[in-house]
């Protein structure tokens, strides 16, 4: 027999929230109810998501910054990604030097980032690529001022252990979407491949950062699948990305962009399901949320990417610091010290941004330019 609920949805949202605040896990049935919130019910949902965030994660927020070590010419055909060699986009293949990566890490630290990572395109790293990255990771780990992270694609057991030994502390490898919807987005590897790399990283003693991209045509049940799968896998950090479709990718012009309120609802529902996890709002933040970016915390988000994005420029770190200052929120660095936001101390533009006041402009790699990316892909 299917159980039905007749109480007003606002009352049910409160009842579910109180269970979470009391230490209970959200059921699939309750989570599905949260997705039905509309109108004023959304504000009830956000209110309780914020209460859950403060109870389990705290009021302080964190920043993360990432650069492309190797960009473009990716063997995989992820439909959202402008770096795939299967798509005709504005991206051209390039690599960064160790010196450039170190400079970008210094800038990330200046902006208050607690984590800094290298994102490489491709199915997975070669031993030669690990040789190239090792000096950077060792130096960054030895300095101990920022968490070294990596998004390198599929990993073998030996590679994961080697990354841990060279100083990497966290691996990002996103599920991207549900197992059901995954074949609509990628054909060159499987959902099981992604889960395997996450488990490989955990087995090597690495922290795991894994999330998804929303707005690709998936349904709410797909989004819930991602959240519950991540709860089972034990991800430490969950990036929530919103599709900012790039011309030349298969998804471009195939889906309607999320509305700001639906994007915030995704954050809130994830907070109910993953009450004690770091929910990192990453790709698509400016494009999709527009004037409602500051609502990410009220909806349950606890961290965000500061700097530029996958192959588009993000907004000024100064603006993000000003946002926190206006909200009365502090941020926490890698050493777990709490800081007040300082717009004057943050950089005016993200790394490599050649033009002021050009939000969401396409990013083209230039010689000696540093490009910051979100935790958005595991290819």
Non-local CB neighbours of 339 within 8 Å, separated by 6+ positions: 112, 330, 331, 332, 333
Residue 365 has pLDDT above 80, yes or no: no
pLDDT band for position 332 (cuts 50, 70, 90): very high
Residue 159 φ/ψ, nearest 5 degrees: -65, -40
Between 23 and 73, the more confident residue is: 23
> Between these two residues, 18 and 366, which has the higher pLDDT value?
18
Task: List domains and CATH numbers for the chain.
Answer: 9-51 (no CATH), 61-373 (3.20.20.70)
Any bridge partners for residue 61, and if so which?
331
The Cα 96–Cα 42 span in angstroms is 44
Say which residue the tokens 């030669």 belong to. Answer: 128
Q: How many CB atoms lie within 10 A of CB 191?
A: 19
342 pLDDT more than 50: yes
- Give residue for tokens 């920022």: 146
> How far is 290 from 284, CA to CA, in rounded Å?
10
- Pairing state between β 303-305 and 330-332: unpaired
User: What pLDDT, in 10s, does the model give residues 243-296?
Assistant: 987 777 767 788 899 999 999 999 999 999 999 999 999 989 999 999 999 999
Gap between the Cα atoms of 322 and 367, Å rounded: 31
Backbone angles phi, psi at 62, to 5 degrees: -130, 155
């Amino acid at each position: 027999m299917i159980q039905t609920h007749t109480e007003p949805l606002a009352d049910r949202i409160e009842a579910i929230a109180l269970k979470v605040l009391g230490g209970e896990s959200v059921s699939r049935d309750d989570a599905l109810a949260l997705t039905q919130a509309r109108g004023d019910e959304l504000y009830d949902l956000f209110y309780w998501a914020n209460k859950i965030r403060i109870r389990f994660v705290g009021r302080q927020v964190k920043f993360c910054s990432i650069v492309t070590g190797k960009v473009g010419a990716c063997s995989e055909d992820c439909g959202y990604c402008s770096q795939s060699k299967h798509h005709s986009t504005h991206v051209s293949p390039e690599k960064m030097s160790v010196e450039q990566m170190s400079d970008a890490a210094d800038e990330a630290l200046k902006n208050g980032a607690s984590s800094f990572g290298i994102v490489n395109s491709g199915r997975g790293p070669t031993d030669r690529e690990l040789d190239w990255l090792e000096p950077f990771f060792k130096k960054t780990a030895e300095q101990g001022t920022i968490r070294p992270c990596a998004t390198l694609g599929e990993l073998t057991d030996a590679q994961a252990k080697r990354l841990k030994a060279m100083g990497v502390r966290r691996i990002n490898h996103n599920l991207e979407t549900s197992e059901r919807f995954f074949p609509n987005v990628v054909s060159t590897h499987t959902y099981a491949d992604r889960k395997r790399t996450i488990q490989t990283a955990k087995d090597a003693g690495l922290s795991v950062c894994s999330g998804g991209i929303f707005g690709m045509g998936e349904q709410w049940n797909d989004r819930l699948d991602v959240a519950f799968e991540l709860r089972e896998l034990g991800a430490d950090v969950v990036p929530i990305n919103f599709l900012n479709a790039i011309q030349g990718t298969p998804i471009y012009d195939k889906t309607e962009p999320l509305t700001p309120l639906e994007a915030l609802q995704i954050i809130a529902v994830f907070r109910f399901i993953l009450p004690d996890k770091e929910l990192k709002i990453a790709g698509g933040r400016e494009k999709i949320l527009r004037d409602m970016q500051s609502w990410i915390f009220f909806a349950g988000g606890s961290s965000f990417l500061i700097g530029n994005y996958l192959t588009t420029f993000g907004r000024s770190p100064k603006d993000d610091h000003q946002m926190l200052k206006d909200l009365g929120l502090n941020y926490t660095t890698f050493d777990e010290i709490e800081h007040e936001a300082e717009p004057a101390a943050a950089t005016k533009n993200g790394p490599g941004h050649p033009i002021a006041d050009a939000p969401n402009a396409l990013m083209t790699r230039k010689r000696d330019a540093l490009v910051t990316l979100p935790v958005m892909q595991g290819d």
